[in-house]
Structure 1
């Protein structure tokens, strides 16, 4: 009867077979009251006891016209507490049974939707916890980086605010992209926007489409912010005619390599410092961690140059 209405039916023969089929978490369990032996009651009870919190398997029992309904229902309520039980008298009308089974299957489907929703919620909580920990670690690292290079409280506050802003923009870009990657061009635009005033673009950016993982994008944003801040204080952007070019390229041959270059021009004459400052040390450590190779930072008299290269596969998100 059920198969004729395109309802899949599997028949269990014996308690061992019943236990096996129950383990597959069927949509509905249908029994006659004659099949309710102690062994069957115990097998079903064991399965119900091991169900997940979201699960409530519907059970349909077909009663004979002369069966002791009250006693059977009482025994089943005791043997299988907290279950959704439905009872039909035989002979049952086709439309009545089919409608009952379909309603039970729909309820079961909704239970599984709840299960999937719970699973997604758990996964989202784990991911949120992971991301919050990463963000806090990044903030702590930025704080230490800023503290070590600070010479005044005002300078510390300004640098710390700027670095947090760079971090915030990259995380926002990844979020709005609805994924785990962000492009180099987007990182550059977000980082350099505060330095582009009145339509005058003194920071030129160019390069092919390259995607970065969230971690690589955050690292690049902080490095570009560091370079831009230095250029504003001491380099090309400290003078009206100065300009900065940030460009990147990817080799066509395997293994593919990403190269990024920062070039300043038109600023005051550059002198190599007697010792590396914290900003320089950070750039070297961060870019090496991102690309796997030490960057070249050249204090050329015509303008600071920074070139960093490494395997494209390290930054993630690229085919």
Structure 2
């Protein structure tokens, strides 16, 4: 008998032969194997039940195999099929058998099967063609299965992202409202923060593999502040690709730092400057360090109360890197530095 081990079979791409007579089983196995069709066989009811669990693509059964226990075992298997599945069943009938009654009984017992009947003797070409057509139909069903699985996963991912975005917007709204001194201030700050969030989400969406480089985040965040060819924000660092969550977090943090610098810090006076850089350490595990330093602006005093920007920075960067950032209100300018394991925030680093 030519047959493939059940351990080597994949769902929906092989034929299960039910033939109690060894001569029939050997012939069918050899015929289908000669045409590169993967074959498994089953005789006893326990063996048949086990083989059905491997999800064969097609069932080929001789008339003699259709005993009540086999009919019930196959019926149980068909009832357990998902909605996208419709198993082809090839039945080899004897010329002298009550074929009409057999067809009626199988249609009743196996309503979830695509039944194809051949009366023996059947030519090998006709039988192989029928089996190949059935396998092709099963592979198309498998494509539908995979498509449905992808759609479900995409819907789950979309639901997750929408929830995260709404949570971010809600948090931004509440904390901006608490820190606003006027409706105009609230409107400007809220609009700016939403714009920063939209920019990085758009960039990550269009990026390959949902990764975004720190350099691209820098250009998106600081680009609006490069006026008349004057660049008061100096940046530098090696190529580093961040995952979607880390990229969004870093963009929002840089937006907060930039907004604060324009209002109160290093970018609030013509002589002020900002340095933002990032480095990756050698050795294992590799670490990513980012640093923000303001200079040339008004003398800095530590605020009497912690505002939205500082709270967000500390919370977001701690979540991103797994370590708390160091935020220092130095007289010569605000400084913020944080470091963490590169693999925590990167893609393929």
Give the TM interval when normalised to the shorter protein: over 0.9
The whole-number CA distance in structure 2 between the counterparts of 1:168 and 1:119 is 29
Within a 5 Å distance, the mapping from 1:222-233 to structure 2 comes to 222-233=252-263
Q: Map 1:59-78; keep pairs closer than 5 Å.
A: 59-78=89-108
Q: 1:157 maps to which residue?
A: 187
After superposition, give the CA deviation of every residue in 1:43-70 in whole Å (9 maximum; x if it has no partner): 2112111112121110111122222221
Structure 2 Cα separation of the partners of residues 215 and 241 of structure 1? 35
Q: Secondary structure at the match of 2:277?
A: strand
**Structure 2 residue 324 is the aligned partner of structure 1 residue 294:** yes
Change (3 A) 1:259 1:3: closer
1:260–1:309 CA contact under 8 A, matched in 2: yes
* 1:127 equivalent in alignment to 2:157: yes
1:189 equivalent in structure 2: 219
Give the C-alpha shift of residue 155 in structure 1: 0.9
Contact 2:87/2:112 (8 A) holds in 1: no
2:113 is aligned to 83
The corresponding residue for 1:218 is 248
Corresponding residue number in structure 1 for 2:21? none
CA–CA distance in structure 1, aligned partners of residues 316 and 47 of structure 2: 61
Shift in Å, 1:253: 3.3
* Per-residue deviation, residues 75-96 of structure 1 (Å, max 9, x unmatched): 1111111321011121111211
- Is 1:310 paired with 2:340? yes
1:259 aligned residue: 289
How many residue pairs were aligned?
319
SS at match of 1:145: helix
For 1:46 and 1:299, locate their aligned partners in 2 and report how far apart those are by CA, in whole Å. Answer: 72
Asked whether 1:110 is paired with 2:140, we answer: yes
Contact kept in structure 1, 2:256 and 2:309, CA below 8 Å: yes
Runs of 4+ in structure 1 off by over 4 angstroms are none
**CA RMSD between the two structures:** 2.0
Instruction: Indicate conservation of the 8 Å contact 1:206/1:246, yes or no.
Output: yes
| Cα pair 2:214 2:241 within 8 Å, conserved | yes
Do structure 1's residue 146 and structure 2's residue 176 form an aligned pair?
A: yes
What is the rounded CA distance, in whole Å, between the counterparts of 1:58 and 1:127 in structure 2? 34
1:2 and 1:313 mapped to 2: Cα distance? 50
SS of match in other structure, 2:275: strand
2:51 corresponds to: 21
Unpaired segments ≥5 residues, structure 2: 1-30
Residues 234-258 of structure 1 show CA distances to partners (whole Å, capped at 9, x for unaligned) of: 2232233432211111222334332
Q: 2 CA distance for matches of 1:4 and 1:226?
A: 69
Deviation at 1:296, TM superposition (A): 3.0
TM-score of the superposition, structure 1-length normalised? 0.92
State yes or no: 1:234 paired with 2:264.
yes
The match for 1:43 is 73
The answer on whether the counterparts of 1:149 and 1:279 sit within 8 Å (CA) in structure 2 is: no
Rounded Cα–Cα distance in structure 2 between residues aligned with 1:11 and 1:278: 69
CA distance in 2 between partners of 1:36 and 1:314 (Å): 58
Question: Aligned-pair distance for 1:274?
Answer: 4.1
| Secondary structure, counterpart of 1:115 in structure 2 | helix
Query: 1:57 maps to what in 2?
Result: 87
Structure 1 position 276, deviation (Å): 3.7
Separation in 1, partners of 2:325, 2:156: 35
Identify unmatched segments of 5+ residues in structure 1: none
